[in-house]
Chain A
Amino acid sequence: MRAALLTEYRKLVSTRFWWILLIVMAGYLAFLAAVIAFSVNAETGDGGAPGVPAASGVEAATIVYSLVNAIGYVFPLVIGSLAMTSELRHGTITQSLLVEPRRGVLLAAKLLAAVPLGLLYGVVACLAVVLGGAPVLALVGDGAFLGDGDVLQVLAYGALVTVVWAVIGVAFGALVTNQVAAIVVIIAVTQLVEPIARVGLASVDALAGAAAYLPGAAADAVIGASFFASMGSAEVLSRGAGIAVLLTYAAVLAVLARWTTLRRDLG
């Protein structure tokens, strides 16, 4: 397993995509953090952006810093999904299976190798929202609150959740092995389907509870603050339940992938 992990690590760092996507994520999050920090602090009716909740103080700060998850989670998902889709796209799965015919070990190594990668993405994402958001919060709002316990917790759990997103990404890519399809589905679900579902479900009384089990909502529960929660989409799970829900998504996707993709003739 150690050798399999080292192999997965080398697969990742020997191509350029991981740091290109990392830079894109950092730039995007820093920019959005600055914009949102400005918007949440703006007086309503006086330049306040529609759809962005008005808040102040620590609440405003946590909303900005929670963008790591609310907006940033598409990046660890995508980089994770590439672990498998890229092997099938370029045919390297053949050589991978020749040196490691135990397909469960191959998948497990990929899932585990996503942990340090996800951590790197999480830490960089946190730095990006702080670099982009903190100066604006300090200038137009009530302060950056970087010493506040709640704020630090949002950042720390944001990085942790990013790790889980990367692992979920690996499992998802192993299930939806067409690279383009996997990326399109990830972007569509994270940017469109889930936000709509969260608002939609929350507005129907009978389904309001179900919205909390959507992956993004579960991640918000772990972080303890959210851009979306602050928009009034109700119920949130406990932190432990949130982590459990996310890990369940990863496990279910991985098991499905093991019994579909990895049972086929590959390579």
Chain B
Amino acid sequence: MSTAAITVEGLTKRFGPVTAVDDLSFTVRAGAVTGFLGPNGSGKTTTLRMVLGLMRPSAGRALVGERPYVEHPRPGRVVGSALEASSFHPGRSGLDHLRVYAPQVGVSDARCREVIDLVGLGAAARRRVSGYSMGMRQRLGLATALLTDPPTIVLDEPANGLDPEGIVWLRGFLRHLAEEGRSVLVSSHVLGEVQSTVDDVVVIARGRLVHSSSLAGLAELAEHTTYVEGPDRGAVARLVEQHAWSAEPSGAGWTVADVAAPLVGAAAHAAGVELHELTPRGRDLEQVFLRLTAPPATEGGAR
């Protein structure tokens, strides 16, 4: 765990007057799954393309292990990646797509067959990609990334175009990769898609880093919401008023924003208000994510 799997340092990419990625720095811990999150157009794909040597940064650098991707003698063996679900020749079969790249990453045809079975495309292996659904293309992309059994995996929006069943499958798959001790960098514009599988999160908006921590660190930014209900609705209402909580009536009780359940309980006890229900509501990470990535008018792109 000493060396980071991927290190991004001051990475910047300008397209003419537009700065797509702006002085971005973060690391991907070895052996951890890192979610790379941001709204569409926030610079995720551009960042990944620079990490993988497809684009030249305007400034800064990205390292895979200890050196840039392109300086590895056989980079395909160090990092497996799936960037776009559309990057296949429509007239080529799924299996042939893998066989095309097999010589350069030094794997056999048997291994191609193995990974295509692994992602559940065995039955469609010899069909042309033009007949594949979006979900099947995503799976073929994953198979490509896994071809060399690499220690580090980079996936760009692997959940795009997957049906709910496919998303569940993907979650299990990512968890499996993590259990095998691989370092995974997975991008998404929807936190919920990867929330249950990531250890760390890197959040960007408008090309800049807005948050980087463990998933638990992100959860700490979430507001505490507490649902409270008592037999005397008026008494609970007075309690809310007394403490100037921001609360909204909900069902038979109240939803209190930004106050933890123990505090509400203590206040009710002190005031002698009988409660029948006192429930901490889930910390809504999606709300945190939206708040972090909101346009500058509501929340600045603070670093």
Contacts and interface: CB of A to CB of B under 8 A. Distances in A.
Given A10-B100, A14-B93, A266-B54, A92 B105 contact: no
A266 B87 CA distance: 13
B5 interface: no
Contact of B89 (A2, A6, A92, A98): A92
Interface residues of B, number: 32
Determine which residue in B69, B75, B81, B89 has the highest number of CB atoms from chain A within 10 A of its CB, and name it.
B89
A267 interface: yes
Contact of A99 (B55, B83, B105): B105
Interface string A81-102: 0000010001110111111111
A101 B84 contact: no
Nearest to B79: A98
B53 A101 contact: yes
Nearest to A14: B96
B88 A90 contact: yes
B83 A94 contact: yes
Determine which residue in A11, A14, A16, A92 has the highest number of CB atoms from chain B within 10 A of its CB, and name it.
A14
B91 A10 contact: no
A10 B144 contact: no
Interface residues of A, number: 27
Main secondary structure of the interface of A (DSSP, over half): helix
A101 B90 CA distance: 23
A15 B54 contact: no
Contacts of A230: none
Interface string A135-164: 000000000000000000000000000000
List the 8 closest pairs (A to B, CB-CB), nearest first: A91-B87, A14-B96, A101-B70, A6-B103, A3-B103, A265-B55, A99-B104, A15-B91
26 contacts: A4-B103, A4-B104, A7-B101, A7-B102, A10-B100, A11-B89, A14-B89, A14-B93, A15-B91, A90-B87, A92-B88, A92-B89, A94-B54, A94-B84, A95-B144, A97-B54, A98-B53, A98-B81, A99-B75, A99-B101, A101-B53, A101-B69, A101-B75, A265-B56, A266-B54, A267-B49
Given A14-B93, A14-B96, A98-B53, 14 more contacts: A3-B103, A7-B101, A10-B96, A10-B100, A15-B91, A90-B88, A90-B90, A91-B84, A97-B54, A98-B54, A98-B83, A99-B76, A101-B75, A267-B49
Interface of B: 49, 52-56, 69-70, 75-76, 81, 83-84, 86-93, 96-97, 99-106, 144
